[in-house]
Structure 1
């Protein structure tokens, strides 16, 4: 069938050619069945015509697909389907193994000053946890409960999972994936030798206190120096994860290629989780705002290639992902422009909000 004007398009029509926006982005892919809400999206993007498949029965308009509560999904209200597996995600095997890893790293951190690190036990549990990585999405995953005093342990386990993914995404050899995960798991182990009151202090630290906290990098390297079954990159990640590409970091003010790749990976994972986890003195921040801050840090501070890959991969969410905006309204993602990955278009109560234009708004939370 020849092209049809968007104004004449009916719900239920099937697209036979990718719909391209005037700016060159793919709005809908070939084979998509048009839903009522898609008509508004096409108009919002100033698309004039689309090519659709002809009706089998002449003159009969195809009916739009009905919402069916398939296995793994339940009806929430008319016209809305919620994935049951997402509602039950806190009961997943991933969460079970995450909590086992959390307890083990907590025990290991607390005893490391007096006893050898149980590296084989840590590796075994880390391998089990990573076997569930298909269920881990960096922006969506949340531990069942987080106690303020356990922040460092949560950051360690989350950084391990995220570092493993980053190593995969960036194309590092498979032999590096587990070592990158170890680097994430152990990067802050030196904090065990820092006064805990400084780590949890809500007020600004004095210059002397800042210097003491910064020593956790050298403490970490010293604690890992004689640990077997990890490579030197893991030890260097503990030492270097606060170094910056432009040489303004600490403790050695290293630059660019002087910083180990694992440290560059862990730096991104650590910043993301440090800012999106709730702290005793600070609420968790929006993952999307944190991604934007990480992008800013990529100009001279963080490795720009790792940052670009990280943002691209973490924001690969399917259209229809349900979210909550910073003003409290609920909606769903309908389109993500590759030039504005952290600011997609969302549909809220029948209207479209372009977050790339309405900069005062942002996605506060992914619901499902």
Structure 2
């Protein structure tokens, strides 16, 4: 362990102690392997030196994952033990590859449902490391947007099902609903699906058919329940009956579809796409909140926003004007617009509406 001047700090160095802000919040945690943006944070808070760990190999902290193994007859066959190293990102990347091949083969062959289930189960094992506002793919080809959207919706649907108090047996099925909600895109003409220009009226109609196509593909798939199939069909329905394809009102929309409808909007707007750059997650949450009045289930939306924006004093954020600051107070009536300390001055985002949080850089 050694103390290193900020002038000598380089990306890849691992911290041996927490770094604190002047207000006492944790700026960067012990064990963090510094990235270029972390150096920007340190400079923004005028940190003079950091304690580094030079006794271990550089690299991120390994997270254990489960792996099924053959056990002797005295042990239950379903027992799983920790045996390999992996991270959420590792399992996420594997899930992207698997859902991509599965979706491309969905029309001509049966879905590899048990393989998908095993990989989904392994990925969900790391759910404690999933922060919806901070997680982003390590690499993303914009043509693969639909696959990233599906895997992110699986993770977020699992969490939201848990947050709204659904029984535990529904959590994994809700994750399946998120994973398969856009499966019908496999039957959409790629020239329409990937068209960078605005769609014509007839092309919009064809795109909307992905909901019924998805239900048809899932109709005979085992290991999923009817709610998963209905989520593929209903995730664009609105509680006021203005959605598609069946113009159902809220009482007739399955809860999985309501969950997926919310997280799909979030990820669709916060991922880079061929025709539109990603938007601030906080601005997207504000839009989702406004849509709760008549379009989305208001109670599920409220739970989603409350849980996602569980800000705590000490969280480090980047504002839309590129300034880096520390959250010092959150008004639960305005969960996306807390007070932020920037260079010793308090910025009240409820009053300065032209500013918003662009990114969470570090959690307490």
Of residues 88, 95, 98, the one that matches 2:92 is 98
The alignment status of 1:212 with 2:206, answered yes or no, reads yes
Which residue number in structure 1 is paired with residue 127 of structure 2? 133
Which of 247, 252, 263 is residue 258 of structure 1 equivalent to?
252
1:306 to 300, 303, 312: 300
1:159-170 equivalences under 5 Å are 159-170=153-164
- Please name the residue that 2:31 is paired with: 72
Say which of 226, 241, 245 aligns to 2:239: 245
TM-score by length of 2: 0.79
8 Å contact 1:220–1:235 — kept in the other structure?
yes
Aligned counterpart, 1:268: 262
Matching of residue 181 in structure 1 with residue 140 in structure 2: no
Task: Supply the RMSD in Å over aligned alpha carbons.
Answer: 2.6
Does structure 1 residue 326 correspond to structure 2 residue 320?
Answer: yes
Q: Is 2:150 the partner of 1:191?
A: no
Shift of 1:181: 0.2
Q: 1:352 to 1:79 in 2, by over 3 A?
A: same
Q: Which runs of 5+ in 1 are unaligned?
A: 1-34, 39-64
Tell whether the 8 Å contact from 2:26 to 2:314 is kept in structure 1 after alignment.
no
- How far did residue 200 of structure 1 move? 2.2
Distance 1:186-1:66 versus aligned 2 partners, 3 A rule:
closer
Q: SS of the residue aligned with 1:367?
A: strand
Deviation of 1:66 (Å): 11
Q: How far apart, CA to CA, are the structure 1 residues paired with 2:167 and 2:51?
A: 35
CA drift of 1:203 comes to 2.1
Larger Rg: 1
Q: Distance in 2 between matches of 1:299 and 1:245?
A: 9
- With structure 1 as the length reference, what TM-score do the two structures score? 0.78
5+ residue gaps in structure 2?
1-19, 53-58, 64-85
**Structure 2 residue aligned with 1:357, among 348, 351, 357?**
351
1:88 Cα offset (Å): 4.6
Which whole-Å CA distance do the structure 1 matches of 2:25 and 2:311 have between them?
23
Kindly report structure 1 stretches of 4+ aligned residues shifted beyond 3 Å: 35-38, 65-71, 73-84, 87-92
Mark the CA change 1:68 to 1:221 in structure 2 (over 3 Å): closer, same or farther.
closer
Q: Select 1:222's aligned residue among 209, 216, 225.
A: 216
* Number of residue-to-residue matches in the alignment: 306
Compared with structure 1, are the counterparts of its residues 263 and 215 closer, same or farther at alpha carbon in structure 2 (3 Å cutoff)?
Answer: same
Query: Which of residues 279, 290, 296 in structure 1 aligns to 2:284?
Result: 290
